[in-house]
Chain A
Amino acid sequence: MGLNISLAPEVLFYIGTFPVSNTFFWFIIVWLIFIIGALFLKNNLKMVPGKMQNLTEMAISGAYDFTESIIGKGKRAERVFPLVATMFFFILICNLIPYIPGQAAITIYNGQGMVPLFRSIMADYGLVFVMTITTVITVQIITIAVSGPFLYFKKFINLKSPLKFFLGVMDLIGEVAKIVSLSFRLFGNIFAGEVLTAVMLFLMPFIVPLPFAFLGLLTATVQAFVFSVLTLVFISMATEIPEEKLKKKEKKMKTNQEIGQEV
């Protein structure tokens, strides 16, 4: 029996020409669980909560309080919360699903060979990349909205002096690095966990994989947290008004005051 480790998710079957990979398949299942859960929750909310509702409320309000503590109270937190919280809960559940015992053993024949039916959902770089891109695009949009398009482009392309030009290029690289670091952190951790578990199971099926499984649980939770918190922090940074604009505002206020005094 050979150990088959693939960086890419394995394709289970095709709908037309659309390849359904095992991660996509499970992504849809988790997605459906979330959607149905949300609809169920909406229709079963009671003033006096049951245990399930209590748990959900605690999770959501706890997440909201945490969001508020990072980005500040009010509209900001309200706007950013759906995205960040969904990322957290979704990644968390996706990461915890592999710990359902038994599913790792199921393989199916996809026409070319045996492929495992299950693969940790976040071990699909495509999905992680999509989420990262969502974060980065959101951050860019917020930055443009806050500081204005002119200032936004000036940050990256500045021809005033060689040093500023260089810093602008560095900023640009920084933005790209953000995408890479954010996405590969999550993907790498989960994929590594998958591989590690597979290797351990292959080498020593009993007891030895257990500590790694616990480690994997920790990683699963921490990575969900890290990904969403980093998203939150990036957005929070983007919502801060840049210094140059603040200076301009102050100048404006000062001149207004001076005019007021003269009058």
Chain B
Amino acid sequence: MNSLIDALGLDLRILIAQFVNFAILVFVLWKFAYKPVFKILEERREKIKKGIEDSEKSEKRLEEAESEKNEIIAEARRQANELIEEAKGKADIRYQEIVNKAKGDLQVVIEDEKEKIASYRKQAFNEVKKDAAILITSALEKILDEKIDEKKDKEIIENIIKDLN
């Protein structure tokens, strides 16, 4: 046994030193290599997980915003259509109103004009009548002045008086 130990070069002091060193190595690697590496791996994993979750969230939000946008646009379009319809209706009514009013006005104007024309006519007629009477009178006077002598005049007057009677 002793010769075997000698042959293998075993020395208890070296063995102890090696054991202690190895134990220290295990401890140091555990404390300063494995643990921090696992920690940072875990942290990175968390970070990546969070990043993916965040991106999923934001994507979802984007989708929501998109659908909301579409909804709003549809709503706006619907409202606009409604407004247009309403405006059209109103415009129709207003158009009718205006047309009717214009028609009424026109009627009034026409009536007015008719009346005016009629009164003008009457006036003109009266004037013509007057002028004609004057004209006739003057013509008559002329004729009477020249061709009717006193005798005739007398006759006519007498005839008129006769007629009158």
Contacts and interface: CB of A to CB of B under 8 A. Distances in A.
Interface of A: 6-9, 18-19, 21, 24, 27-28, 31, 34-35, 37-39, 41-42, 45-47, 56-57, 60-61, 64, 81-83, 85-86, 89-90, 124-127, 129-131, 133-134
A35 B38 contact: no
A27 B24 CA distance: 13
A35 B15 CA distance: 20
A134 B15 CA distance: 12
Contacts of A35: 24-25, 28
A242 to B, nearest CB: 28
B43 A47 contact: yes
Contact of B26 (A27, A83, A127): A83
Q: Which 5 A-B pairs have the closest CB atoms?
A: A8-B9, A82-B30, A38-B32, A42-B32, A125-B8
A158 B161 CA distance: 189
A129 B15 contact: yes
Interface of B is mostly: helix
21 contacts: A6-B9, A7-B8, A8-B8, A8-B10, A37-B33, A38-B28, A38-B31, A41-B32, A42-B33, A57-B41, A64-B34, A82-B30, A82-B34, A83-B26, A85-B34, A90-B22, A125-B8, A126-B11, A126-B18, A127-B18, A130-B19
B146 interface: no
A85 B47 CA distance: 27
Contact of B19 (A9, A28, A81, A134): A134
Contacts of A90: 22, 25
Contacts of A24: 14, 17-18
A86 B29 contact: yes
B15 A19 contact: no
A174 B62 CA distance: 67
A226 to B, nearest CB: 18
A34 B25 contact: yes
A89 B37 CA distance: 15
B40 interface: yes
B32 A126 contact: no
Chain B: number of interface residues, binned into ranges: 20 to 34
A47 B44 contact: yes
Contacts, number: 110
B34 to A, nearest CB: 6
A21 B21 CA distance: 15
B6 interface: yes
B34 A81 contact: yes
Given A126-B15, A130-B15, 5 more contacts: A47-B44, A56-B33, A126-B9, A129-B10, A134-B22
Contact of A31 (B13, B25, B44): B25
A31 B17 CA distance: 12
Contacts of B44: 47
Given A8-B7, A24-B17, A56-B37, A47 B47 contact: yes
Contacts of A46: 40
